[in-house]
Amino acid sequence: MYPLLRSLLFRLPPELAHEIAMAGLRVAQAVPPICWALERGASSEPALETRVLGLTLRSPVGLAAGFDKNAFAVDALVALGFGFVEAGTVTARPQPGNPRPRLFRLSADRALINRMGFNNHGAAAAAIRLASRRGAVVGVNIGKTKLATEAETEDDFAASARAVARIADYVVVNVSSPNTPGLRDLQAATKLAPILKRVRRELDAAKAGSPTPLLVKIAPDLADDDVDAVTDVALELGLDGIVATNTTVRRDGLRTPDSDVQAMGAGGLSGPPVAARALDVVRRVRTRSGGKLVIVAAGGIETAKDAWDRIRAGASLVQVYTGFVYGGPRIARDIGRGLVVLARAAGYANVSDAVGSEGTAPARACITRS
């Protein structure tokens, strides 16, 4: 069914196709029986249940930020089988984003290029919508308002954090999008630490005694030493985790003709072309942190094997975005079911038992038989 629908949607400009898909999800969310029907079809298995960040998730497979920027359809998305949804990126002030066209398909690579520019209705508007959700586990990804000056950056992030602190299940500081001028410069440890400290204070003040978990999202284009530096900052400041990774500005190794890629212009590339580097970053964060940080893996995850590799490399959670566009509404449940098969084949009772198991003996080798 979806291949036919996708062929129709792919005849449309990518952003229009996305808006149509979101409209359908909003209709489903507005009619509870539709969500309930979807939920029955996407019921998860106990082996997928994951406890992390103080949360209990029915599946470690989530939807990455960027798909539901304004938190319009989180319940419908969870009904499709996602264990959690990351809304956003939202900013302190509403903004239109970059001029269209700003989203492009590289079908030969099952990839996307976007330069959306954090188009959103603002953090406060997202918080209002999330207050009425029906049980979906939702993180909120916050970014810098384009018009905020360098001197205003900390205040800008703090305003977004305050708006969502009481309603988000976790918060991600996004300093890794390539589409807001100067944003990636904030990944430098000296610039990142003050922002994270300020956001942490806002979250602590909003929910004294049980502060909202805080993570930072990093780019795959960071040098290894810089990945280590960000990991060290996260550990020093007591962050809960790292989202690895965002999109890449690199364009090497693509099947799509160079002339077509150049015509698309600037932006972040997502999908399978970023997968190898994203996996390397997960491994590096895991090693550098000694397993003390929760890792949320994103970037080129399309199959259960992709997700399994990230989990064994150290990720507790995985996220899809481009894979959802190409794979359709069954992707969360298909990846989840595949993970259960892979975990059982390796001797694990639960998928979460395999986190960070890369390089160790298979679990089944430790099972003794009477």
Q: What are the residue ranges of helices labelled H in the chain?
A: 2-9, 14-30, 32-41, 74-79, 123-130, 153-164, 189-206, 224-237, 258-264, 275-289, 304-313, 322-327, 331-345
**34/162 Cα distance (integer angstroms):** 33
Check pLDDT > 60 for residue 5. Answer: yes
Q: What is the pLDDT of residues 259-281, one digit of tens each?
A: 999 999 999 999 999 999 999 99
Amino acid making up residue 19: E
Closest to 130 in 3D by CA, of 91, 98, 85, 94: 85
Kindly state the percentage of the chain with pLDDT values over 70.
96
Task: For residue 94, give the nearest of 124, 116, 115, 66 by alpha carbon.
Answer: 124
pLDDT tens for each residue of 137-196? 999 999 999 999 989 999 999 999 999 999 999 999 999 888 788 888 888 888 999 999
For the chain, give every domain's residue range.
2-357
* Domain 2-357, CATH: 3.20.20.70
Give me the active site residues, please: 177
Whole-angstrom distance, CA of residue 61 vs CA of residue 303: 11
Spatial CA neighbour of 169 closest among 301, 27, 71: 71
pLDDT reported for residue 367: 41
pLDDT tens digits, one per residue of 283-311: 999 999 999 999 999 999 999 999 999 99
Structure tokens belonging to residue 191: 């610039």
Q: What mean pLDDT do residues 50-73 have?
A: 97
Residue 364 pLDDT exceeds 60: no
Cα(362)–Cα(134) distance, integer angstroms: 39
pTM given for the model = 0.94
pLDDT in tens, 222-241: 999 999 999 999 999 999 99
